[in-house]
Amino acid sequence: MMRFLPRPFDSAKKVFRSASQTQEDHPDQSRQGLERPNSRLLRVREWFTGDGTAWMASLTLHLFLLLPLAVATLALPRPTQIISLKYDPVDLVEEELLPQEFVSAQKPEENIGALSQDGHDMAREAAPLLEERSLVIFESAPITDEGPLLAIELEPPTFEGPTFSEDLPVQGAGTVGTTGALGAIDRITHEILISLEQKPTLVVWLFDQSGSMRTERTAILKRFDRIYQELGLIEAAKNPAFAKHHDKPLLTAVIGFAAEPQILTPKPTDQLDEITAAIASIQDATSSEENVFHAIAMVAAKYRSYRTPKHGRRNVMMIVFTDEAGDDIDQLDQTVDLCRRLTMPVYVVGRPAPFGRRTAHVKWVDPDPNFDQRPQWVPVRLGPESLLPERLKLYFNGSDDPLLDSGFGPFGLTRLCHETGGLYFSAHPNRVVGRHVSGFETDNLAAHFEAFFESDKMRPYRPDYVPIQEYMHLASSNRARRALLEAARLSWTTPMKNVRLRFPKRDQAALAANLSRAQRAAALLQPKIDRLCQILLAGEADRSKLRKPRWQAGYDLALGRALATQVRTAGYNVMLAKAKQGMRFANEKNNTWVLKADENQASSPLEKIAKKSRSYLQRVEQQHAGTPWALLARRELATPLGWRWEEDFTQLEPQRAVNNNRPPRPPRQRKTPRRPPRRNPPPL
């Protein structure tokens, strides 16, 4: 028989009834209980000893049963919830490797690389600025059908890459030296590919029609097939540069120019046969005038419509082949503004500019063996590398200053490339750095430069490629710059003549006459030299304000050389005056006085000037090593500034007695072998 435990509520009612009954039956005792509170504690104690014990036992049992159930709910496995993830796949474009040709040569090449005569390698992953990401060429704003938009003046971008390089050509940076025009073709092909990756492109090839470019045009024509063959191979490999354009991504036009430009392709084409036929049809010009800036401006105006949506918003780039600086430099600013406004980059494959000189001498050998094969040196305008000459023209000791490579192209063409985002390729077949190059080594139709310099050394000495007005303001803002340009102009307009250093003595009267004539020549030379020194010394106070190394080296070299020439000229006059007073030969067999360079000065004032001159020249040699300025300073220091007399013997023709009755017999002429006839060079 089951027994139910009493509930707490029933027990409480029972206690309440018991208490109430007691109060009703015994009212006196109830009142007495109020007075004795300990009686309640006794009744509670009785409850705990009775029914309370059963209630507490029941509570404990239920809690004991609930605890395993709670633990079981935590231990038992729960049903697995299935979560589904959904994402959209991203299409990734895989970069395909470009095909590369490998050619094996029979003999090793002296110059290799992308900018050599026969390039066999490509540029490494490098840039002038260190950065994990690569900076590509920005895409310029197109031109609408209604008219040209105003262009925003932006600085040309500088490539950034993970490896630092001082030799990597930077678009818009200026000049890149190569050993030949063919060495620039690989880089130009690369530039075409970059343009094609952005937009469809029109490439305009401009060829100088001068006779000196005939051989180079033939070599380029042979290479032309390879250029477009490489582009065709890339197209066949489904390169994105071609796949994303619709029809004819690359169009080509050919222009010839001399005094006037000549369009050789009626309209831009993509047919290689038409392109090569147009180049082969170029004829040599009959005049030496070359208006290259006029031709570039004409091309920019003619093909500007290809930048509009009507022709696919094409990029238009110009590639110029020439061997001169151009005869229409007055149109430079207008041409630069037009090409910049239309965002048409210009690339020029030309010749290096001579350091601080307008003209260089090009070697010409008659191609017909029936004529004299001795080389002739034809003056051709190739410079200077700056807007105005920044180098004095001095030749005191019997010869002109050597022609040196400036490290840059002619100012006008190089500035045009610089401001439009192109490149000037300075091509010379005899480019050898570190040694003297003789005229015998110079190739035919090439200018003779005695020395070339490293590109990384010359990069900090880049000329100021700015408009003419800005250049003149820059020059006038500093007295040292203004003095350098004024002294250079003065030395060019009044070139210094050679001086006589050898004085044979037939008799005292003849010697005195020769010495007097030499003094008169020195007297004419001395004021010019003094004027140069005064101009340069007037700008010495602003020398410390020059910040660019080009202006620092130019001013120091000019002042050092001018002071050296002043010391030599003044000492020369003193030595001639001393000889006129009479000198005796130590050896009676000698009959000639010869002036030789010496360290000793004729007077103490000249010693102070000579010391100042050497300090300027030594500073140039030490602070600008590896540059044309340092080379000229070293040559100047190698020649002492003073003079001394030495004696020598000269075989003099005996004086013939003149018979009054008949004329004297003419001197016997030596028979010389007959040479083939000699022709004058054609316009180069």
What does the pLDDT look like over 572-585, one tens digit per residue? 988 998 888 888 88
Task: State whether 504 and 623 are in the same domain.
Answer: yes
Q: Which of 389, 420, 437 corresponds to the end of one domain?
A: 437
Q: Give yes or no for residue 292 having a pLDDT over 90.
A: yes
Spatial contact of 285 and 273, defined as CB atoms under 8 Å apart: no
Q: Kindly report, residue by residue over 381-434, the tens digit of the pLDDT.
A: 998 999 999 999 887 554 567 889 999 999 999 999 999 999 999 888 888 888
**Residue 666's CB: how many other CB atoms inside 10 A?**
6
Q: Highest mean pLDDT range out of 229-233, 473-477, 621-625?
A: 621-625
> Is there a domain that residue 301 lies in?
yes
pLDDT computed for residue 23 by the predictor: 46
Q: What number is the average pLDDT over the span 328-352?
A: 94
pLDDT computed for residue 270 by the predictor: 85
pLDDT computed for residue 15 by the predictor: 41
pLDDT computed for residue 670 by the predictor: 67
pLDDT computed for residue 581 by the predictor: 86
pLDDT computed for residue 137 by the predictor: 47
Q: Highest mean pLDDT range out of 45-59, 476-490, 593-607?
A: 476-490
pLDDT computed for residue 48 by the predictor: 64
> Is there a domain that residue 121 lies in?
no
Task: State whether 482 and 432 are in the same domain.
Answer: no
Task: State whether 418 and 514 are in the same domain.
Answer: no
Give, as one character, the DSSP assignment of residue 399: S
Write the single-letter amino acid at 14. K
Task: State whether 172 and 229 are in the same domain.
Answer: yes
pLDDT computed for residue 646 by the predictor: 92
Name the band, by pLDDT with cuts 50, 70 and 90, for residue 84: low
Task: State whether 203 and 323 are in the same domain.
Answer: yes
Q: Give yes or no for residue 377 having a pLDDT over 70.
A: yes
pLDDT computed for residue 304 by the predictor: 94
The C-alpha atoms of residue 408 and residue 425 are separated, in whole angstroms, by 9
Q: Which tokens is 100 given?
A: 């590369």
pLDDT computed for residue 119 by the predictor: 42
Task: State whether 427 and 503 are in the same domain.
Answer: no
Mean of all residue pLDDT scores within the chain: 78
> Is there a domain that residue 419 lies in?
yes
Name the band, by pLDDT with cuts 50, 70 and 90, for residue 301: very high
Q: Per residue in 4-40, is it b (16+ CB within 10 Å) or e — as a string?
A: eeeebeebeeeeeeeeeeeeeeeeeeeeebeeeeeee
pLDDT computed for residue 112 by the predictor: 47
The C-alpha atoms of residue 491 and residue 558 are separated, in whole angstroms, by 11
> Is there a domain that residue 466 lies in?
no
Q: Give yes or no for residue 227 having a pLDDT over 80.
A: no
Number of domains in the chain: 2
* Lowest-confidence pick of 88-102, 183-197, 219-233, 415-429: 88-102
pLDDT computed for residue 73 by the predictor: 66
pLDDT computed for residue 622 by the predictor: 96
Q: Where are the alpha helices (DSSP H) in 399-466?
A: 411-420, 455-458
Spatial contact of 384 and 358, defined as CB atoms under 8 Å apart: yes
pLDDT computed for residue 102 by the predictor: 44
> Is there a domain that residue 206 lies in?
yes
Q: What number is the average pLDDT over the span 331-336?
A: 94
The C-alpha atoms of residue 69 and residue 456 are separated, in whole angstroms, by 86
The C-alpha atoms of residue 423 and residue 159 are separated, in whole angstroms, by 14
The C-alpha atoms of residue 63 and residue 569 are separated, in whole angstroms, by 126
The C-alpha atoms of residue 682 and residue 680 are separated, in whole angstroms, by 7
Q: What number is the average pLDDT over the span 243-250?
A: 64
* Lowest-confidence pick of 15-24, 103-112, 191-200, 671-680: 15-24
**Residue 44's CB: how many other CB atoms inside 10 A?**
11
Q: What number is the average pLDDT over the span 605-624?
A: 95
Q: What number is the average pLDDT over the span 315-325?
A: 94
Task: State whether 497 and 607 are in the same domain.
Answer: yes
What CATH number does the domain containing 227 carry? Answer: 3.40.50.410
Name the band, by pLDDT with cuts 50, 70 and 90, for residue 624: very high
Q: Give yes or no for residue 4 having a pLDDT over 50.
A: no
pLDDT computed for residue 456 by the predictor: 86
**Which residue's structure tokens are 């000492």?**
571
More confident residue, 184 or 308: 308
Helix 411-420 to helix 332-341 angle (10° resolution) is: 20
> Is there a domain that residue 306 lies in?
yes
Write the single-letter amino acid at 348. V
Q: What is the DSSP string of 136-198?
A: PPPPPP---SS-PPPPP--PPP--EESSB-SSS--TTS-EEEESSHHHHHHHHHHHHHHHHHH
What is the Cα Rg of the chain in Å? 48
pLDDT computed for residue 628 by the predictor: 95
Name the band, by pLDDT with cuts 50, 70 and 90, for residue 35: very low
Task: State whether 505 and 411 are in the same domain.
Answer: no
For the chain, the distance separating the N- and C-terminal CA atoms, rounded to the nearest angstrom, is 138
314, 682, 320, 396: which is closest to 562 by C-alpha?
A: 396
> Is there a domain that residue 585 lies in?
yes
Q: Give yes or no for residue 477 having a pLDDT over 90.
A: yes
Helix 332-341 to helix 292-302 angle (10° resolution) is: 30
Q: What is the DSSP string of 205-235?
A: EEEE-SGGGHHHHHHHHHHHHHHHHHHHHHH
Helix/strand number for the chain, H first, E second: 18, 14
pLDDT computed for residue 181 by the predictor: 64
The C-alpha atoms of residue 348 and residue 312 are separated, in whole angstroms, by 26
Spatial contact of 322 and 398, defined as CB atoms under 8 Å apart: no
3-state secondary structure of 453: coil
Q: Give yes or no for residue 164 having a pLDDT over 70.
A: no
pLDDT computed for residue 62 by the predictor: 78
Counting residues of the chain whose pLDDT is more than 90, the rounded percentage is: 38
pLDDT computed for residue 121 by the predictor: 40
Residue 569 falls in which region: left (phi positive, over 0), alpha (psi -120 to 50) or beta? alpha
Q: What is the DSSP string of 508-560?
A: HHHHHHHHHHHHHHHHHHHHHHHHHHHHHHHTGGGGGG--SHHHHHHHHHHHH
Distances in Å between the Cα of 99 and the Cα atoms of 135, 184, 188 are 24, 20, 18
Q: Give yes or no for residue 684 having a pLDDT over 70.
A: yes
pLDDT computed for residue 451 by the predictor: 93
Task: State whether 432 and 486 are in the same domain.
Answer: no
Task: State whether 541 and 431 are in the same domain.
Answer: no
pLDDT computed for residue 163 by the predictor: 45
pLDDT computed for residue 394 by the predictor: 81
Name the band, by pLDDT with cuts 50, 70 and 90, for residue 545: very high
Write the single-letter amino acid at 286. T
More confident residue, 428 or 49: 428
Q: What number is the average pLDDT over the span 486-500?
A: 76
Distances in Å between the Cα of 194 and the Cα atoms of 197, 237, 306 are 5, 16, 18
pLDDT computed for residue 498 by the predictor: 66
Q: What number is the average pLDDT over the span 58-62?
A: 79
Is-cis flag, bond preceding 384, omega within 30?
yes
> Is there a domain that residue 444 lies in?
no
Q: What number is the average pLDDT over the span 243-258?
A: 79
Task: State whether 427 and 568 are in the same domain.
Answer: no
Cβ neighbours of residue 423 under 8 Å, at least 6 residues apart? Answer: 169, 171, 172, 173, 174, 175, 176, 187, 191, 347, 348, 417
Name the band, by pLDDT with cuts 50, 70 and 90, for residue 185: confident
Task: State whether 421 and 492 are in the same domain.
Answer: no
Range of the domain at 574: 477-648
Name the band, by pLDDT with cuts 50, 70 and 90, for residue 19: very low
Q: Give yes or no for residue 650 having a pLDDT over 60.
A: yes
pLDDT computed for residue 671 by the predictor: 66
pLDDT computed for residue 578 by the predictor: 87
pLDDT computed for residue 154 by the predictor: 44
Q: Kindly report, residue by residue over 523-542, the tens digit of the pLDDT.
A: 888 888 999 999 999 999 99
Bridge partners of 178, per DSSP, are 427
* Lowest-confidence pick of 43-52, 181-190, 235-244: 235-244
